[in-house]
Structure 1
Amino acid sequence: MAYLRVYEPLSAFGEPPSEQLEKAVEAATLSRATVGEREQCMWLKSQVAVPVRLLPAELANGKPAPSTGTDVLVLDPEDVPGEVGPGPLVCPLELRARSAAALVGFLGDAPPALAATVLDASGVTPEKVRSRTTAALGGLPKAAVHVLSTTWTVPLPWFALVDPAERRLNLGTGQDDPARELSWRVSMSDALTRAAEARELVENTLGDSGPARILEETERWLTNFDPRSAVELDYGGLVQLIADPILESDTSAEEVHSILDALRTGNVEQLAELFNDLREYWSELAAREHFN
């Protein structure tokens, strides 16, 4: 799973922030290397609980579990290029709310027969789902979650937000090393500027669907947060699926920025070549979804 995260200054969570949050930030028990394992653990716990929980990080009565206020990632402003902070910078996992949003999306898009099967297996009614998901989303400190995630691939428009030269690469001891990383960090102001410029360029040349729509949605999402925040694009668990030589030579961010340059200059030949290279690279990873 890959992630796009926003880390806000602690002051953005209240003046003063809650004592529970302050203690969680001071302890900083989670890292980007362990966050995937933590999310997986919370999902599994929700399924083996009796009764089964509708959402992870939720109690049997539908109330949020204490972990919803303590599961946070913490970042030092010095680790982010550009003007951010003051620190510490905080990204709540908000797994309960993110799961609620995903459930609402699934039930809205799934064929009625499949949606009914899922509800029956969970022993819940549509009314109960609406009530629980509304409560979970209503408990967010902001109008949006701090984390967007995708499985098997990274949406190419996300690369437009970052500076390719600021890549953070750690191959670790191999593909199973939790410390293995490929990520970028950027200030909110730079991310918003790049998103707006890329969206306008893509809209003017390719229209307002596809990549332009993703850029517009991402830009709108970013505006929910403090302008002194940091944004992180993280390959997350995808790095465990990519061999060292391929991960080390990954040029997806460079190629997306080259595509934007080709759009500016009208270089159709270069544009087609870059699109083909990216499609081939990411389609190999995306294809694994059909085998799982």
Structure 2
Amino acid sequence: MTAVRTSVLPPYAAHLRVYEPLAAYPEPERVRWQAYAAARGPDAAASEQSVAPAVLAEQREALAELLARTPRALPERESGRAFVRVVDGVTYVCPWATRLRSWQALEELSAALPAALLDTVLPPAVRAAAVADGERWQAVHPDARPWILTSRWEVPLRWFLPFGAEDRCFVPAGPEGGGVAAALFYLTPMAQARRRVARGYRVLRDRAPRGPLVREAEQVGRWLEEFHPRSLVELDYGGLVHLFGAGRLAAEDSVAELEQGIDALRAGDAEGAARAYRAVTDRWRAVLALRNAS
């Protein structure tokens, strides 16, 4: 497994990624990504390896961009970089699509921050120009979708649905002072991810139709349908691993707990399902509460 050596903590954010095989990309994108992967090599050469070093590189590049220039709402050009995985001899690519993700982050920021604070961070004229730019770009690329979803301070429950306990990959931290950071991620084939989400959705729709997970499961399922059926799907805890103690992180398996809850719901065990749901939501509520800690 790849160990991450760093003294810098990454942002407290988790990521849901889709890696598509080279065959999924039309020309000339396919040739470009093939050359990119050949020149740089894979960020992970096996399914049990983490792409955490490449994620840190992306974050450092973004930070350098902010420090070197006058702050702006989004990059001037789309990134030509990607995360590359090789599994069983097949090369998979997950484009960063930084500009597209920046537009989405701007929407989230506008909804999350008070108007006065938002105007201080990004003046109205800057936001308006970014939104207009995004609308023009979207008109030319109506089918565009990000390969990466990001969540700060928590992993949304719906993100656990595509995975099973057997997909879990945990890289423990190295000895104290060694600079080796822990990593926790799940990786599964797209076909398996879609089946799990579909099964979970049917159970939730039939047994708990008024619960919030019904709509959220449908959202995840629709997003996964946008990609090549032979893709890989990854849930990466990213910087959130630093919010868990070593023991808690080693034992963390919300995927298995939510899976048990859905199985209980399918079997008609409402009490068991509620118990599993509470265990997962209480844990992530406690993690989310750290956002406001001083």
Alignment of 1:116-135 (within 5 A): 116-120=119-123, 124-134=125-135
- Aligned partner of 1:51 in structure 2 is 70
- Aligned partner of 1:173 in structure 2 is 174
Percent pairwise identity = 30
- Aligned partner of 1:10 in structure 2 is 22
The counterpart of 2:286, out of the listed 278, 284, 292, is 284
Distance 1:119 1:208, change over 3 A: same
List runs of 5+ in structure 1 lacking aligned partners: 79-85
Q: Quote how far apart the aligned CAs of 1:110 are.
A: 4.7
For these two proteins, the number of residue pairs brought into alignment is: 274
- Aligned partner of 2:90 in structure 1 is 87
Indicate the larger mover: 228-237 or 171-180: 171-180
2:152 aligned with 1:151, yes or no? yes
- Aligned partner of 2:36 in structure 1 is 24
Q: Quote how far apart the aligned CAs of 1:118 are.
A: 3.8
Distance 1:111 1:131, change over 3 A: same
The alignment's TM-score, normalised by the length of structure 1, stands at: 0.83
The answer to whether the Cα contact below 8 Å between 1:96 and 1:136 also exists between their aligned partners in 2 is no
Distance 2:264 2:148 in 1: 31
- Aligned partner of 1:76 in structure 2 is 86
Alignment of 1:98-117 (within 5 A): 98-108=101-111, 110-117=113-120
Give the partner amino acid of 2:41.
A
The alignment's TM-score, normalised by the length of structure 2, stands at: 0.82
2:77 aligned with 1:63, yes or no? yes
- RMSD value over aligned CA atoms? 2.7
1:196-249 CA deviation, whole Å, 9 max, x = no partner? 111121122222551111111111111111111111111111122222211111
Distance 1:140 1:18, change over 3 A: farther
- Aligned partner of 1:83 in structure 2 is none
List runs of 5+ in structure 2 lacking aligned partners: 1-12, 45-50
Distance 1:126 1:247, change over 3 A: closer
Distance 1:14 1:50 in 2: 34
Give the partner amino acid of 2:91.
P
Distance 1:243 1:205, change over 3 A: same
Q: Quote how far apart the aligned CAs of 1:40 are.
A: 2.5
